[in-house]
Amino acid sequence: MRNLGALILGLCLLAAPAWGQTPDTILINGKILTGDSRFSVHEALSIHNGRILAVGTTADIRKSAGSRTRVIDLQRRTVIPGLIDSHQHAIRAGLTFTSEVNWVGVSSLAEGLDRIRQAAATMKPGAWLIVGGGWSPNQFKERRRPTQAELEMAAPNNPVYVQLNYAWVLMSRSGLKALNIVNDTDLPSGARLERDSNGNLTGGITGNQPAVVALFDKLPKPTPEQQLDGTKKFFRELNRLGLTGVGDPGGNNLPPTEYQTLFKVWRDRQLTVRITYSLNGQTAGQEIEEFQSLTRMLPADFGA
């Protein structure tokens, strides 16, 4: 019993510094869902050095605050454990987040076209306007895709590229001209130009996934500065939506060199999302060479 008492006393002494820590931040007057087996609800929470110190009542958590503690009044808002998306192409999305026109969450085609119009007003004539995916006709109240005429009306002085999943692309006439696309032979293998009932080109291009990936790769790439800015802002957008982690499967449009922006954000200690990612060969018959290139590229201490 004497030894047991000494052990308990020793553990208490070791734990004392943690109990006495002054929180950097406290959240009060809210609904804190712990996410444990009981899914408990508390009023307040304290944080020190990025770690949760305690949950409890607002009165109790207030007592732990120091003169420099940041106090956030939730005003009855709810705080939940960070969400993790197990399949999201976050690395690729970040590279183009600030250089593309985003249709995520747009409720009408009219609003989507207005976003293109607004972007065109800030771009030089001849600069590309790209909607690289992340939308569906089902999200629009019009329940349809845009037309080439609508793209050209929204951005008469800029080539426009709109992609739907990996099966369909719509381009303005200036976009087709910029990529020297006149007939099907100018497209990647597996793609073809869409025509209406009279045989006239619609601006649409249909194709299999490799063909659409190859077509997208013909577009100009964002600058390194745009990629870095977009990556940081996209991760902050994920944070705003409650996401603290993602699993990125890699793949389409993400060659080895495209990971360097992610590594820079990590080295600069500005990574706000935990990321697991997969490395995969993308060219049939060249998988071994691609894996060798990928593994040579990776920083040995990444994730440490």
Q: Which domain holds residue 43?
A: 20-81
Closest to 191 in 3D by CA, of 161, 159, 168: 168
Residue where a domain terminates, one of 216, 247, 272 = 216
Rounded to two decimals, what is the model's pTM?
0.76
Residues 144 and 191 in one domain: yes
Residues 131 and 188 in one domain: yes
CATH code of 66's domain: 2.30.40.10
Residue where a domain terminates, one of 39, 65, 81 = 81
Q: How many domains does the chain have?
A: 3
Residues 125 and 189 in one domain: yes
Summarised one tens digit per residue, pLDDT across range 80-132 is 888 999 999 999 999 999 999 999 889 999 999 999 999 999 999 999 999 99
Residues 292 and 232 in one domain: yes
Burial zone of 279 (CB within 10 Å; 0-12 exposed, 13-18 middle, 19+ buried): middle
Residue where a domain terminates, one of 161, 182, 216 = 216
Residues 119 and 207 in one domain: yes
* Residue 146 token pair: 């845009």
- DSSP sequence for 21-73: PPPSEEEESSEEE--STT--EESEEEEETTEEEEEE-HHHHHHT--TT-EEEE
Closest to 119 in 3D by CA, of 93, 147, 157, 92: 157
For residue 304, the model assigns a pLDDT of: 54
Summarised one tens digit per residue, pLDDT across range 207-252 is 999 999 999 999 999 999 999 999 999 999 999 989 999 999 887 7
- Percent of the chain exceeding pLDDT 70 equals 91
For residue 303, the model assigns a pLDDT of: 59
CATH code of 192's domain: 3.10.310.70
In a domain, 104, yes or no: no
In a domain, 12, yes or no: no
304 vs 301: CA distance, rounded Å:
6
